[in-house]
Amino acid sequence: MSDRPLTESEFRAEFAQYGMDEARYYHAWRLLLILWYSVWWCSRVDWSQYRMTIWQRFSDWVTSAARRSDDLQRFMSTFARQASLTHIGKNESERELALTFLALDTAEQRAILQMYRDDMPVLVAFVRLFTKKYGKGDLGNDEA
């Protein structure tokens, strides 16, 4: 896999075959990918022992955190607590990217949270397809 994440146009091209409005999912998917990798690289718990149920757990954590939150700061905090994360983002570039989501205006943050409440099957499918193709490894340089 490349040492960088997919750009928005690459994301659209990658998932165009599924006939969905991929562009509206890009930011929600991008943050989910950071959270997914954080579960594997930044958790105090060895989630590999739950590999049969980890996708459902992940989806439940995201949906639950989204329902309890009105902004991404609270969402990330709630998710981190549920997943026993020491931090979000396994390296500096992922942590910086996660922080950029906090700078989005309120309407954009709420739109992402609404997707997490309503469209998790689609978003988890995108994350699963990506990780199946590229592995659960890296979104950037490994500086964890």
Q: Tens place of pLDDT for every residue, the chain, 144 residues?
A: 344 566 667 766 766 666 556 667 788 988 999 999 999 889 898 888 888 889 999 999 999 999 999 999 999 999 999 999 999 998 998 899 999 999 999 999 999 999 999 999 888 988 888 888 776 544 433 333
CB 104 within 8 A of CB 72: yes
Angle 137-127-17 (CA atoms, 0-180°, nearest 5)?
Answer: 120
pLDDT of the residue at 75: 97
At 134 the pLDDT is 72
pLDDT at 2: 45
In 3D space, the residue among 126, 118, 26 whose CA is nearest the CA of residue 63 turns out to be 118
